């Protein structure tokens, strides 16, 4: 099972999502930034590398938030989400054609990749007030 990382980057109460560019297998779908964990990398190293490669930004990786397992005909993966802080650099799009800062409750307005939809559900559970 492929390990894939997702950066949950927050600014002013909104989360960053990015849309895959034309020609990509997942073109037009929105996702949390990130990518595949390479052999020998820690999740923090992998996320920093992916964000540098895809957006030319420097980031610091905080705590693990949640993960989901996803299987399709094409792949089987575990998507692991981490809290990430944007430290430096302007976002330059390489693998994506657009980025947006979106409130968690607005995510349903975007065509998210299926694993990312599951991450949104997990994040909503983490942020919803506990019932008494």
**pTM recorded for the entire structure:** 0.91
Instruction: Provide the domain count of the chain.
Output: 1
Q: What is the DSSP string of 5-68?
A: EEEEEEETTEEEEEEEPTTSTTTT-EE-SEEEPPTT--HHHHHHHHHHHHH--EEEEEEEEEEE
Residue 132 lies in a domain: no
Q: Would 55 be classed as within a structural domain?
A: yes
**What is the Cα–Cα distance from 90 to 82, expressed in whole angstroms?**
21
Is the pLDDT confidence value at 14 over 70?
A: yes
CATH of residue 44's domain is 3.90.79.10
CB 33 within 8 A of CB 4: no
Q: How many CB atoms lie within 10 A of CB 111?
A: 10
Q: What is the C-alpha separation between 121 and 107, in angstroms, rounded? A: 10
Q: What pLDDT, on a 0 to 100 scale, did the predictor assign at position 130? A: 60
pLDDT of residue 88: 96
Averaged over 98-120, what is the pLDDT? 95
Range of the domain at 121: 2-127
CA 61 to chain centre: 12
* Nearest-angstrom CA–CA distance, 107 and 49: 26
Per-chain mean pLDDT for the chain: 93
If one counts every other C-beta atom within 10 angstroms of the C-beta of residue 121, the result is 13
**CB 101 within 8 Å of CB 32:** no
pLDDT in tens, 25-68: 778 999 999 999 999 999 999 999 999 999 999 999 999 999 99
């Amino acid at each position: 099972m492929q390990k894939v990382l997702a950066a949950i980057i927050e600014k002013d109460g909104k989360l960053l999502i990015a849309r895959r560019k034309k020609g990509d297998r997942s073109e037009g779908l929105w996702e949390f930034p990130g990518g595949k964990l390479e052999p020998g990398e820690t999740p923090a190293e992998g996320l920093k590398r992916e964000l540098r490669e895809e957006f030319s930004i420097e980031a610091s990786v905080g705590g693990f938030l949640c993960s989901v397992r996803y299987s399709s005909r094409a792949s089987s993966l575990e998507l692991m989400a981490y809290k990430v802080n944007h430290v430096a650099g302007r976002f330059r799009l390489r693998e994506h054609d657009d980025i947006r800062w979106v409130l968690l409750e607005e995510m349903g307005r975007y065509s998210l990749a299926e694993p990312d939809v599951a991450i949104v559900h997990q994040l909503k559970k983490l942020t919803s007030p506990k019932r008494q």
